[in-house]
Amino acid sequence: MSYGAIITEFPSYDDSNKPAQNSKKSPYTAFAEFLEAKRFMYWGLFLTTINIVALTVIIMIKLDDFFIELLFKISLVINIIFAIDVLLRAIVFGPKYFCRGKYGLLHGFDAILVLSTLGVSLFLKIKETELIEIGLLSLRFWRLLTAHVKVIEYKYPAFHIILVMDRSGSMNGNDITPSEKSRNYAKLQKSHDNRLGAVYDAVYSFMDTRLQTRYKSSSRTPLITDRIDRDTISLVLFDDEAVVIFENERINADLLFNKMLQYENRGGTDFGVAIEKVDQLINKYFDATK
């Protein structure tokens, strides 16, 4: 049985003779995951530390020109590696990686620091002025801090959840209605005692369950709790048209549920407008850490 766009029963079939699907990731996906892997982040921290040590030695210790030149070349190679990293991220994730989302501007500023440091390393001699040396050291230290933030964020990512619901005329059917055991049964029975009300009830249960996760003993660590608190949610209702009921809001089950109750079923069904609206939300609130 199906109501709206939600299927509640599926036909049975025998897939014993069906060839196994190839679950191997594409090279593009595997490389993208490699760039965001914790191991890659730790290597970034390691190389940054080497760069800081090299610059500190040049500033603090008087060395022969040979050793100064050697340390300078080590620093230059590390700067080139970081510049290549920025270029690869721009190719794989696109320019929005450096300007969209909660940490987009941080990524962008970090990229500017990396490219500026490389430019200084190529066109100026570090030993010419202590001001440039201190500036480079500060830039490297900033790189260390931003890399550390990335390791934490990608280890415990938050989510932007986008729900898309059909509210066309067919959702007025009463073959599926809100459960009498629901916390919001009284409200739904008055105005949404139909398929749409059942879906509203399911959305409320989902949001409430997500919030309750933070109180489980397995989730009681500062980073995991913070991740759940940073979750956001958007809801798109569609019939002949698509409308965003709430977008990129922190999960508050009761508040958002009351917003849903303001909308009833109507019109026909156009999946295209719903997909377009979702695409707009994804681009508007793009965040590489979610």
Q: Give me the residue spans of the domains in the chain.
A: 27-155, 158-284
When computed from its CA atoms, the radius of gyration of the chain, rounded to whole angstroms, is 26
What is the spatial distance between Cα 87 and Cα 22, in angstroms, rounded to a whole number? Answer: 31
CATH of 27-155, one of 2.60.120, 1.20.120, 1.10.10, 1.10.150: 1.20.120
Sign of CA dihedral 154, 160, 161, 165: negative
- Closest Cα partner for 85 from 14, 29, 31? 31
Q: According to the model, what pLDDT value does residue 146 have?
A: 61
User: Could you give the 3-state DSSP secondary structure of residue 290?
Assistant: coil
SS3 state at 190: helix
Burial class of residue 159 (count of CB atoms within 10 Å of its CB; 0-12, 13-18, 19+): middle
Per-residue tokens: 173: 């059917």
* 8 A C-beta contact, residue 29 and residue 220: no
Bridge partners (DSSP) of residue 3 are: 6
The pLDDT of residue 224: 55
Which two tokens mark 107? 């990524």
The pLDDT of residue 210: 85
Whole-number Å distance between alpha carbons of 40 and 89? 13
CA dist list (Å): 251 to 116, 158, 234, 273, 289: 40, 12, 9, 25, 18
| pLDDT of the residue at 163 | 95
Burial tier of 211 (Cβ tally within 10 Å: 0-12, 13-18, 19+): middle
The Cα 160–Cα 287 span in angstroms is: 9
Angle at 227 between CA 223 and CA 230, to 5 degrees: 135
Whether domain 158-284 has CATH 3.40.50.410: the reply is yes
What pLDDT is recorded for position 20?
A: 46
Point out the residues of the chain with pLDDT beneath 50. Answer: 1-16, 18-22, 126, 129-130
Tokens read off for 67: 């050793």
pTM comes to: 0.52
Q: What is the pLDDT of residue 1?
A: 35
267: region left, alpha or beta (phi > 0 left; psi from -120 to 50 alpha): left
